[in-house]
A and B are shown apart, each in its own frame.
Chain A
Amino acid sequence: MFRFKHEQTIVNVGGVKFGGQPGELPTVLCGTIFYQGHRIVQDDALGVFDRLAAELLVSRQAELSEETGNPAILHLYARTIEAAERYLAFADDAWDGPLIIDSADPSVRSASAQLVSEIGYADKSIYNSISVATGEAEAQAIRDSEMDSAIILAYNPANSSVDGSLQVLETGGSVKEKGLISLANDAGLVNLLIDPGIVPLGSGAGSALRFSVVVKARLGLPTGSGIHNAVSAWPWLRSADKATKWCCDAAASALQLGAAGDFLLYGPIESAKFIFPAAAMADIMIAEAVRDLEIEPALEHPLNRLV
């Protein structure tokens, strides 16, 4: 529902475009597979999983993407490099689009960057993520790889306000010698997607929404978040039934889109069935809201497909 004065960077990763003015491009939706506790994973150290179940999940996300016009990304989470190898081999067979490579372990992320480079996937892979925790060894591993796209996690542990997150991006604030954008550029990353990092409700989850608008206004870079984490970390909701949780997930996602979000790390890939319709609806509303502000929705936008 906004139009930014600052020129908006459009990032293209493997043919999927992120960014632009709100209402211009459909929101990119990224579903996670093989996440911690995923039922289809039998051994998360070795990367043993139920292949048929994984194929069904991936193909369902692809179908919903095709139907709505919202581009999809497959977000691969791996605990070990052995698991990452197996998951990437699976993605090579079952998925045509871009990937996010992710792990809680920096050595696994670094090794995955090398791996996608070796198998020719670097130009359609997104590194998740560059953050204040990124050390020189990890930066060097990315520099040595062929990757050029990353999510920048703008969480500032010393100051979680919007200003604090901006400081982390631009100067490093009090926790990093230089800003994360410079750090990413020095590591050879040019396609940058900004994620404020979502903290629990009550700890400031909502500031991510204002941060998204501010980043686009000041820097013109694509923004988005894993806002579903605020929902899943909400103790009050834990005893609620599944439908209630899904409603909250969908509402949180729509809020992120209404706050100028360009992409959504929507969490478990099983959520695709309700996130894609919710995001498509929000995209249509936003496109209609700015229709008389000279912003044309892209041909593949849900506005041109679903209504």
Chain B
Amino acid sequence: MTKECSNSLRGHDDFWPPVCGDYVVGDPEAKVAVVTLASRLRAEGAAISGPCKTENLGVEKIVANTISNCNIRFLIICGVESKGHLPGDTLLALHRNGIDEQGRIIGSKGAIPFIQNLPPEAVRRFQEQVELIDCIGLEDEDEIALQIERYNRLAEPYPGEPFLVVKRKAAREEIWAGEGDLILGAETAMDTAAWLVFAEEN
């Protein structure tokens, strides 16, 4: 589910970044976002920076927080890769290949590379809006700052509205209790399928 906001002039809305996480927000008008993978590094001059250790939820957060700010045109991937999970490789694969019908990130070598909470249009927008700069392994903060400075000068904001990802809320279903499969005592039972506690009838 997506909704448009009316902040195209600034490139982002008042509540950017929309998804919480382990990151530092810099200048929202900057053109560069930085992911430091398993390393903790300073990234001066970036719009947003922080680590990412997982190839599914972590990658989703990066996508959601970059496409919701049209100013961000580059994502620098640096720091040491998170072993086994390989979020850096997964970001590159997502950008290059996208996802299949199940949400699996095509071509990722990560352990469980899936996009679950983003619509396919968000992935397409990520591919269009952001260019990835593969600096995996780079931990030199001065060099990272130079890269940020260089790429900040290279681009204009993405021509469009910020893309906000809003998670769909499931409609509440009427709850039916079946047989109690978990006994709480005092003639009280629970149907764990419906997660409903009830008094047992004699």
Chain A residues in the interface with B (C-beta under 8 A): 1-6, 36, 79, 103-106, 131-133, 155, 157-160, 174-175, 199-200, 202-203, 210, 213-214, 217-218, 233, 235, 238, 290, 292-293
Hey, what's the 0/1 contact readout for B10-26 against A, CB within 8 Å counting as 1? 00000000001110000
Please determine whether B184 and A157 come into contact, CB atoms closer than 8 angstroms: no
| Inter-subunit contact A131/B183 (CB<8 Å) | no
In the bound complex, do residue A238 and residue B83 qualify as a contact, i.e. CB atoms below 8 Å apart? no
Residue of B83, B185, B192, B193 with most chain A CB atoms under a 10 A cut-off: B192
> Is the Cβ of A213 less than 8 Å from the Cβ of B111?
no
In the complex, whether B102 has a CB less than 8 A from a CB of chain A is: yes
Complex contact B85–A1 (CB within 8 A): no
B114: which of A157, A213, A290, A292 is its contact (CB, 8 Å)? A157
Q: Which residues of A contact B56 (CB under 8 A)?
A: 157
| Cβ-closest chain B residue relative to A134 | B111
User: Would you call A5 and B180 a contact (CB within 8 A)?
Assistant: yes
Q: CA of A257 to CA of B85 in the docked complex: distance in angstroms? A: 28
Residue B155 CB within 8 A of the other chain: no
Inter-chain contacts of A131 with B (CB < 8 A): 111-112
Chain B's interface: helix, strand, loop or mixed, by majority?
loop
Closest to B101 in A: A174
A158-B114, A159-B116 known; A36-B83 Cβ under 8 A: yes
- Given A2-B184, A157-B114, A233-B22, 13 other A-B residues pairs in contact with their CB atoms under 8 A: A1-B184, A2-B182, A3-B184, A104-B111, A105-B84, A131-B112, A158-B114, A160-B116, A200-B57, A202-B20, A214-B193, A292-B185, A293-B185
Closest to B113 in A: A157
Contact check, A217 vs B192: say whether CB atoms are below 8 A apart.
Answer: yes
Assuming A5-B180, A203-B57, A235-B22, is B192 touching A157 (CB within 8 A)?
no
Task: For residue A185, give the distance in angstroms from its CB to the closest CB of chain B.
Answer: 21
Residue B104 interfacial (CB < 8 Å): yes
Q: Would you give 20 A-B contacts (Cβ < 8 Å), ordered by A?
A: A1-B184, A2-B182, A3-B182, A79-B83, A104-B83, A104-B85, A104-B111, A106-B111, A157-B103, A158-B103, A158-B114, A174-B102, A200-B57, A214-B192, A217-B182, A217-B190, A218-B192, A233-B22, A235-B20, A290-B185
Q: Distance in Å from the Cβ of B172 to the closest Cβ of chain A?
A: 14
When distances are taken between beta carbons in the complex, the residues of chain B under 8 Å from A233 are 22
Known contacts A3-B182, A3-B185, A174-B102: A157-B83 contact under CB 8 Å: no
